[in-house]
Structure 1
Amino acid sequence: MPTIQPIWSIRRIFLISIFSAFSILSILSISIITQQFNQTYHDSAAEQIEHWANILADESLLYLVNSERNALDDNFSLPKHIPNLSYTHIYQLDRESGKLNLFYSYKRNLQRTAILEKSNEIINLQTPKFKEKYLEYMQPIKVKNEIIGYIYLQSSIEHITQITNNSLITSIIIFLIICLLAVIIALKLERYISAPFIALANTVQLAARQRNFQQRCQDMPYREADILARNINILFVRMEKRLAQLDSAEQQSLEHSQELENKINKRTEALKESNQELLSTLEKLHQFQSHLVESEKMASLGDMVAGVAHEVNTPIGLGVTASTLLADRLNEIKSAFEHKTLKSSQLKKFLHDSGENIAIIYRNLNRAADLISSFKKVAVDQSSEDIRIFDVKELLREVLLTLRPQLDNLPYIIKIDCPDDLTVKSKPGPINQILINLIMNSIIHGFEGKETGQISITVMSLSNQLNILFKDDGVGVDESIKHKVFEPFTTTKRGEGGSGLGMHLVYNLVTQALGGSIVLSSETGQGVSIEINFPIS
């Protein structure tokens, strides 16, 4: 679905635009002024602490040179008169060891704790350093360019913080006043601009509601709105003319529509009769198609019956021959026994020949029994769509055993890849029919004109789905029929016994009987690959 763009009102646009512009300019201006204001106070505080450091260094120079510590404590009262000064340290440099010793210490508030010595921070404090609540500075005390000590000052900057807070409050108040002015200006400007458009909208709505386009818009106070009003008046004139034309055309249209309605009624009756005939024909075609599909199923079953009958005839014939020969030998032994001419060598040969004949009879009868049993299972499964539990590999073996009469004399190889313990609950009948149709389709169509060929059938279970991948290396499916290979009556053997229902039957069994899906892929000369998936338990 296309996204709907939001529609903004002029009031909202003006409020946002003007308020944003005023706010941005106010914030930038106040930020710059506040920053410069704070920088000025910080620079002034740094200059003052350097100034007082020079004065205190000069005042304490003689005491430091003469090492008069007590005299300095008694007479050095200047730090008390320096505003905002919290702590003062004077350090004396020991010329022999080069170490700094605390010579004098002052703190304004006696209740405060003393601060640590700063003799280790000389390098960092050569310029004034601002901390969170105070400013500190340290400079050398020199005599003839020779350093004899250092003075450390710590000054409170709480007054600067207070001034900064007051300026911030003042800035916020000014910003709120500017915002209020911006809102008032935006509302006034919006009311001036939108009033003509509201009048035009009311005029257009009234004309549309009453379908009266004879009224006209008034002159507007500024050029853009006046141009729009004139164009609306032109539109009203054209609409008035157009309505007159439409009224005339409507009358003619009513007459034409009456004529058309009569024609449509006649043609509708004719179409109903034609549709009824088409539905009847289509129903007959569906019935004919169903009969053909059932005929195809029974035809494939009949082919198996003929093949199995031919295959069973050989072992039974061998069994009959062996049993007849055994009966002849038995009569000879019986006659020799009755005439008392039976020799031990003759009896020994009879026993040997009897064992061989019985073995021949057993093998051939067992072979015939296997063929009949497999055919019985496949035939029953083909004609039934009942759900039962079965071994998939055993099902494949029975199908191949049933098709052996058709496959024995052909130079084609069928490979089966299926787990030994794959037991599923599904409909074996449709699976039988699908595999037989696919194998026979490859033999009849896929390997046409080829002396060798290979078919591979791979079966695996994939999360409550049985996957069957059928491949052959035959001639493949021609591009002209690949897209309709599952449609009924599609065949390359038209006029040669091909009905075109084999693959259609496979498609119906997979999609309807098994509730699955089938996908065919093929390239000319590269064989065919058919993947079947259907649900199992």
Structure 2
Amino acid sequence: MPPTKPIWSIRRICLISIIGFVSLLSIISISILSQQYINSYNTLAASHIQYWANTLADESQDYLINSERQALNDNLSVAEKIPNLNYLHIYQRNKQTENVELFYSYKRNERRSAIAEKSNNYAHLSVPRFKEKYVEYMQAIKVGEQVIGYVYLQSNTEHIALLSDKLLITSTVLIVIIIIIAIFIALQLERYISAPFLTLINTIQIASRQKNFKQQCQTMPYREADMLGRNINILFTRMEKHIAQLDAAEQQSIEHSHELEDKINKRTAALKESNQDLLSTLEKLHQFQGQLVESEKMASLGDMVAGVAHEVNTPIGLGVTASTLLADRLEDIKTDFENKTLKSSQLKKFLNEGSENVAIIYRNLNRAADLISSFKKVAVDQSSEEVRTFKVKELLSEVLLTLRPQLHCLPYAIAIDCPDNLTIASKPGPINQILINLIMNSVIHGFENRESGQISITVMPLSNQLNILFKDDGHGVDESIKNKVFEPFTTTKRGEGGSGLGLHLVYNLVTQALGGTIVLNSELGKGVSVEINFPIN
């Protein structure tokens, strides 16, 4: 809703305009006159103090030349004749040391405290200086071009301050009188201007209350108001015609409304049927989406099964080969033993080869057992969301071991930064699936058509939460899908086998299974960063 502009009355405009203008003009005029008056007094005071300084310089010149201090004290009577004088100092310049010394001092009232010497202030007091309550001046006493001393005068300016106060009071009284006169003139002018408008307002109010627009406004005393009255009369005439048209249109609208009610009732019934069909379709879509998410989980588990089977096949094959070779050698030894042709060198060779074969069988069976144990943990975790206590570093190692068949032939590096002794109580299954999906998403999408790539996984505890920061330096995410990467069926591999459920599954696991938050940041060509936070014990 736009802000409404303030509506001002004619009285307010007249009062503010006239009073403001008159007050401003009065204040400016009286201020200028007062300032000029005070400046003239200051100028007069300055000229007086300069005059008396010249007089004192002339009278004391001979005494300074002859250094007659006592004679100056006895004969100098001009100081008592100077009006408003506070202090008088006469200084003598020593011819030998060039120092300025106090030669004579005078103060009007003996109860006044003495003031500091001003012998060093000639540069600042060579022109009259006005302070709050006094003016001071200092003049050189010269004989030809040689300065033999200085005379310092300080005069009282309180009479000027009293005159200024009186002038201020007089100016305030004059301004108040002028404002009162301006208010009276503004009210009279407003009454003359607003009277015709009040008449027009009353006419309009009566017409609106009675809904009778046949009456006319009377002639107004001045042109603007009369033009407004004529236009109001034209408006009344047009409104009378418009009301008649509205009555006819209202009758037609009633007829149309009945027709519309019938159409609305029919369309409402059709919409109810369509809405029911849509609800049914939406329910099926949600079921289908849930099935797809579960299929995605099982497909991920199936890929791991195939990879682990391939990885386990190698150590088991080597164990079978070594055991077969050991059986063949054992059969040869048995035959030679029965035929009594067994030699000590043959037995020694058999024992050495047997030890090597047993060691080979043992190593490969242990490797297969480790792979199957790791796969068993991952499979159990992925199919369960129970809370258990585990070491995060071991969980990450198991995930990488599970993905080794898919990653060992790819030129991509994965760096893990996690404290070795970080133990938490949480749900390892969702964490396992989240990491697998993020790594495979970077491999499939981020490093597509690239010969190198770097993935970093940083894990650290923050208060009562676990922070997982997953980064890669791949292609990044395009801005067109950046804000909807966690939505279902969002993929850049449409028609190429991409289901668009990988990151949607990650989002659901973080927010629902772990009760945490996930934030994705990416710039095209600068990789992707995924930050995950969820509560832990």
* Stretches of structure 1 lacking an aligned partner (at least 5 in a row): none
Secondary structure class of the residue paired with 2:374: helix
Distance in 2 separating the partners of 1:478 and 1:56? 95
| Post-superposition offset of 1:18 | 2.9
Segment drifting more, 284-293 vs 94-103: 94-103
CA deviation map 1:23-67 (0-9, x unaligned): 322222222222222232233334445555666777888999999
Change (3 A) 1:56 1:472: closer
Distance in 2 separating the partners of 1:472 and 1:22? 77
Name the aligned partner's letter for residue 32 of structure 2. Answer: I
| Post-superposition offset of 1:239 | 1.9
Counterpart of 1:285 in structure 2 is: 285
Counterpart of 1:459 in structure 2 is: 457
Distance in 2 separating the partners of 1:76 and 1:152? 15
Count of residues in Structure 1 that have an aligned counterpart in Structure 2: 529
Counterpart of 1:249 in structure 2 is: 249
Counterpart of 2:489 in structure 1 is: 488
| Post-superposition offset of 1:432 | 3.0
Change (3 A) 1:19 1:390: farther
Name the aligned partner's letter for residue 372 of structure 2. Answer: I
Distance in 2 separating the partners of 1:455 and 1:72? 106
**Contact 2:447-2:453 at 8 Å conserved across structures:** no
Secondary structure class of the residue paired with 1:459: strand
**Contact 2:418-2:459 at 8 Å conserved across structures:** no
Question: If the length of structure 1 is used for normalisation, what is the TM-score?
Answer: 0.78
Distance in 1 separating the partners of 2:479 and 2:57? 106
CA deviation map 1:190-216 (0-9, x unaligned): 444344444444444444444343344
Distance in 1 separating the partners of 2:277 and 2:46? 109
**Contact 1:484-1:490 at 8 Å conserved across structures:** no
CA deviation map 1:363-406 (0-9, x unaligned): 11111111111111121122223344544443333233223344
Name the aligned partner's letter for residue 468 of structure 2. Answer: L
| Post-superposition offset of 1:528 | 6.6
Distance in 2 separating the partners of 1:235 and 1:143? 97
CA deviation map 1:429-460 (0-9, x unaligned): 23433444455566667777x6x744432222
| Post-superposition offset of 1:76 | 6.5
Secondary structure class of the residue paired with 1:468: strand
Distance in 2 separating the partners of 1:355 and 1:338? 23
* Stretches of structure 2 lacking an aligned partner (at least 5 in a row): none
Counterpart of 2:355 in structure 1 is: 355
Counterpart of 1:211 in structure 2 is: 211
Distance in 1 separating the partners of 2:444 and 2:96? 118
CA deviation map 1:150-177 (0-9, x unaligned): 7665543333332222222222222333
**Contact 2:196-2:225 at 8 Å conserved across structures:** yes
- Following superposition of structure 1 onto structure 2, how do residues 329-478 of structure 1 map, counting pairs within 5 Å? 344-408=344-408, 410-421=409-420, 426-440=426-440, 453-461=451-459, 464=465, 465-472=467-474
For the aligned residue pairs, the C-alpha RMSD in angstroms reads: 4.6
Secondary structure class of the residue paired with 1:288: helix
Name the aligned partner's letter for residue 223 of structure 1. Answer: R
**Contact 1:518-1:531 at 8 Å conserved across structures:** yes
Change (3 A) 1:303 1:75: closer
Change (3 A) 1:187 1:344: farther
CA deviation map 1:63-99 (0-9, x unaligned): 9999998887777666555544455667789999988
Name the aligned partner's letter for residue 242 of structure 1. Answer: H
Distance in 2 separating the partners of 1:323 and 1:139? 128
Distance in 2 separating the partners of 1:455 and 1:402? 20
Name the aligned partner's letter for residue 24 of structure 2. Answer: I
- Following superposition of structure 1 onto structure 2, how do residues 77-476 of structure 1 map, counting pairs within 5 Å? 80=80, 83-86=83-86, 108-112=108-112, 128-136=128-136, 154-326=154-326, 344-408=344-408, 410-421=409-420, 426-440=426-440, 453-461=451-459, 464=465, 465-472=467-474
Name the aligned partner's letter for residue 264 of structure 1. Answer: I
Change (3 A) 1:196 1:301: same
Secondary structure class of the residue paired with 1:385: coil
Distance in 2 separating the partners of 1:141 and 1:267? 115
| Post-superposition offset of 1:309 | 2.9
Name the aligned partner's letter for residue 230 of structure 2. Answer: R
Secondary structure class of the residue paired with 2:30: helix
Counterpart of 1:533 in structure 2 is: 532
**Contact 1:507-1:518 at 8 Å conserved across structures:** no
**Contact 1:455-1:470 at 8 Å conserved across structures:** yes
Counterpart of 1:20 in structure 2 is: 20
Change (3 A) 1:189 1:324: same
**Contact 1:424-1:536 at 8 Å conserved across structures:** no
Segment drifting more, 348-357 vs 104-113: 104-113
Secondary structure class of the residue paired with 2:403: helix
**Contact 1:425-1:536 at 8 Å conserved across structures:** no
Distance in 2 separating the partners of 1:279 and 1:133? 94
Change (3 A) 1:374 1:149: closer
**Contact 1:89-1:106 at 8 Å conserved across structures:** yes
**Contact 1:65-1:148 at 8 Å conserved across structures:** yes
**Contact 1:142-1:148 at 8 Å conserved across structures:** yes
Distance in 1 separating the partners of 2:472 and 2:100? 98
Distance in 2 separating the partners of 1:249 and 1:288? 55
